[in-house]
Structure 1
Amino acid sequence: MTIDTTTTDTRFSGLPGRPGKIIAVHLSYESRAQQRGRRPAAPSYFFKASSSVAASGGTVERPAGTELLAFEGEIALVIGSDARRVSQADAWNHVAWVTASNDLGLYDLRANDKGSNVRSKSGEGFTPIGPSLIDARTVDPGALRVRTWVNGRLAQDDTTAGLIFPLAQIVADLSQHFTLESGDVILTGTPAGSSVIVPGDVVEIEVDSPATGATSGRLVTTVVEGSGPAYDEALGSLPAVDDTQREEAWGSRAAAGLPDDTGSRAAAGLPDDTGS
């Protein structure tokens, strides 16, 4: 596909144009699976609204009255040619570009989303992407790196060698269920280190190929406090948090400032950490 140079919507400046679909993967890195305490046997997915895309250098609001906005540094794949029931061996041929993404999520809405992530992951500005595209033909999909910094501190650092499901498998698997069309974006999951961010924090994410030096550049997003009220209680369920959501969002009970409950989990037959 070619890059659309006619669009005036700056939200999509890090992409060839507005994507028809954004598909995101749940657990995909070994490091994240170890952090969560469970390893999936197969990949699972959810959709994000294309209206959630944002460019580098912008801001994202933490909705007024909410607590648990979390970052997730990820590698984004941009589909270059339609893929329907393609093999894993052929799948990478349908990927045109690679870049950085931040799969932001509001854990305050997760419980009421009941696993769909429709509201918790599709808020305005919840999918920053960019700033630059890496030609997928010039890199090894098994040797890409994603790093995240929060206020200048390195928070995530992993490579696709640590994926449970290789990038080509993800593309091929999705193509079995529906056509991946030119311009569609796949967010390929986050490694360990995702956590909560608060107004004033600056998140930077970079995807690169250490072997070739190709880089997306740093995707920069600043968190700001939203003005309220954010939601109308007469229309639907409101944000709500509990200690389970706090643990999931922060990455551990210790990081969330919660007391250790390993003993009670073991007594109940639960892993040390749970979550998607």
Structure 2
Amino acid sequence: MAAMRAEVGRKAAMTVEELEREQSQWVAAADDEDERSARETRALFADVEEDRDQLVVDLAAYDAVRAGVPVYAAALADPHPAVRLYAAHLLAWFPEENTRSIPALTAAIAGDPSPIVAATASVAAGLCAGRPDDALTAALTGRLAAENRAERWSAAIGLARATTRPDRAALEELYGCLLEAGAPVPHWPFLDGDISTMAALTVARLGPDTAPDRVEVLALRLAGTRRRKDRSGLLGALLDAAFPGGIPRDTPGSALTPSQRTAARALVDARIWRDGATAAQLLAQFGLPTDRHALKAWTA
């Protein structure tokens, strides 16, 4: 959000001519002809002044909802579980307010009698946490022993995001969520209940020193995920873990690390090209071949 504020401030000081010149430079800076063509199409239908105004509106809307953080934190003590659940969900989106929200979320994680409310608060705390907090860590660790799987898995997601080095018990629950979660979790408000993809995105954030097997586990999950399910979040997590920051285009397959080869083979085995334009865009973004035959040859 800090980056968005800076961008709004920067563009507010620019003339329309300067905005159009910057857009032209963005088109010219494309890595290849396909990307340049896509950018040209985007620029053709864009209105630089309207786009700038939309950023201003988006930021104002965010700040208007952010102003209610004290109300959302107080609502975590409401007698109705649904109110507490959606109050916790709202608090997840405002990390700038974590000095207010984390104590309230910690209390909910430690003491709320509803498993789904505690699960929501656990993920919310992980998403908006700043520096490590001993009370939060203790509350999340306590939920790892819960009987309810969504409750345990949410605590593991929270721990992996709120601490610098989650222990192996938390990682095992996180991997369990990634590999075993099937249908969406009822009433779990993140990603329409897709707790497995949230686990994947969380695993991708972990460093190789914390989770050296993260790429292999993500590849295993991709292999077990049906094509008719939206796999874009999982694909993005796998690519981010195996190819952080992307690789130069035309990198030979022989130059890949063992983990990168594992990821690349998983893409072929999953026939990722059948996932359409979104998958192709993600592959291109990380510097990987997007054509089916090129991808197969790359991993041979």
Per the normalisation by structure 2, the TM-score is 0.20
Task: Compare the two structures and name the one with the higher helix fraction.
Answer: 2
Q: TM-score, normalised by structure 1?
A: 0.21
The higher-RCO structure (CA 8 Å, 6+ apart) is: 1
Q: Which has the higher strand share?
A: 1
Query: In terms of Rg, which structure is larger?
Result: 2
